[in-house]
């Protein structure tokens, strides 16, 4: 028996890439880099770009986008990373360093850490580590992104100009929210709900168009919208024969009325 070439029946793979949120820190005490969060097919992509050499930086260009360390997270990995971010936020108030990560790609690691820098201040960072040695677990390449703190103005007085300055980890919290939104978006739940609602109105419009064609004596061809088909009496086990008979007659009257004025009612 001869078989047809299955390759010709395969759907061509089309990669979909979408850019998301960018984080930039060219003045971090621990690391200077840009973190780009995006989407590649059904995964969340994370890309780290280093800064340009100091003599090549300008006010508008700080990072080298030709150099990149990247990884991709499945939804499961993203959920795990989101939990780690939450633990890192608590660890910022501790005096001990913190790091937790998840394995990616077999020999890679991505994680969130808290490190106390020279002045004793705790900073949060994301790290991507690639090509870990099987024996030593030392990465061949890696890069970090240091999450910036957000300056908060407390107790500002417009009469005296006095104020106090505090800070919080809004950028780290934003990264957590981006992860959560990405997980929700890539689950396709919202897309399904939208398609489900749209199908109701699309099928209703199609049925109305077909009904208009019947009233005008125009052959609309096949039911191209699918429509909602009424069940026959044999498939509806909960209705008795008398009520079903009346329902069928009502349905016939609705779609075969000879009064042109009723055409307006079909579109409502």
Q: What is the pLDDT of residues 107-117, one digit of tens each?
A: 999 999 999 99
Q: Where does the pLDDT of residue 247 fall: very low under 50, low under 70, confident under 90, or very high at 90 and above?
A: very low
This prediction has a pTM of 0.71
* Beta carbons of 206 and 224 less than 8 angstroms apart: yes
- Sketch the domain layout of the chain as residue ranges: 15-187, 191-233+242-266
User: Nearest 5°: CA angle at 212, between 208 and 246?
Assistant: 70
CATH number of 15-187: 2.30.31.40
Q: How many CB atoms lie within 10 A of CB 82?
A: 19
Task: Give tens-digit pLDDT for 163-202.
Answer: 999 889 999 999 999 999 999 999 888 777 777 777 777 7
pLDDT value at position 252?
42
Torsion of CA 157, 150, 89, 50, to 10 degrees: -170
Task: Give tens-digit pLDDT for 71-127.
Answer: 999 999 999 999 999 999 999 999 999 999 999 988 999 999 999 998 889 999 999
What string of H, E and C letters represents the secondary structure of the chain?
CCCCCHHHHCCCCCCCEEEEEEEEECCCCCCCEEEEEEEECCEEEEEEEEECCHHHCCCCCCECCCCCEEEEECHHHHHHHHHHHHHHHHHCCCCCCEEEEEEECCCEEEEEEEEECCCCCEEEEEEEEEEECCCCCCEEEEEEEECCCEEEEECCCCCCCCCEEEEECHHHHHHHHHHHHHHHHHCCHHHHHHHHHHHHHHHHHHHHHHHHHHHHCCCCCCCCCCCCCCCCCCCCCCCCHHHHHHHHHHHHHHHCCCCHHHHHHHCC
**What value does the mean pLDDT take over residues 201-211?**
78
Query: What is d(CA 185, CA 179) in angstroms, rounded to the nearest whole number?
Result: 10
pLDDT value at position 182?
94
Query: What is d(CA 206, CA 209) in angstroms, rounded to the nearest whole number?
Result: 5
Q: Where does the pLDDT of residue 241 fall: very low under 50, low under 70, confident under 90, or very high at 90 and above?
A: low
* Beta carbons of 227 and 206 less than 8 angstroms apart: yes
């Amino acid at each position: 028996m001869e078989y047809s070439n299955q390759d010709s029946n395969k759907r061509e793979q089309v990669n979909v890439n979408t850019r998301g949120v960018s984080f930039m820190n060219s003045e971090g005490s621990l690391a200077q880099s840009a973190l780009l969060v995006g989407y590649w097919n059904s995964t969340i992509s994370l890309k780290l770009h280093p800064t340009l050499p100091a003599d090549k930086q300008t006010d508008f260009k700080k990072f080298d986008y030709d150099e990149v360390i990247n990884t991709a997270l499945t939804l499961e990995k993203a959920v795990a990373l989101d939990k780690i971010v939450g633990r890192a936020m608590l660890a910022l108030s501790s005096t001990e360093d913190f790091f937790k990560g998840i394995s990616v790609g077999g020999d890679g690691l991505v994680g969130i850490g808290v490190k106390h820098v020279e002045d004793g201040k705790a900073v949060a960072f994301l790290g991507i580590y690639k090509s870990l040695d099987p024996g030593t677990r030392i990465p061949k390449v890696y890069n970090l992104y240091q999450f910036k703190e957000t300056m908060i103005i407390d107790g500002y007085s417009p009469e005296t100009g006095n104020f106090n300055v505090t800070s919080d980890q809004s950028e780290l919290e934003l990264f957590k929210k981006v992860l959560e939104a990405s997980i929700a978006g890539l689950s396709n739940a919202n897309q399904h709900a939208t398609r489900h609602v749209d199908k109701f109105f699309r099928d209703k419009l199609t049925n109305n168009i077909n009904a208009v064609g019947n009233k005008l004596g125009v052959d609309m061809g096949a039911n191209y919208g699918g429509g909602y088909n009424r069940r026959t009496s044999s498939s509806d086990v909960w209705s008795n024969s008398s009520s079903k008979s009346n329902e069928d007659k009502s349905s016939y009257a609705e779609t075969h009325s000879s009064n042109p004025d009723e055409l307006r009612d079909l579109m409502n």
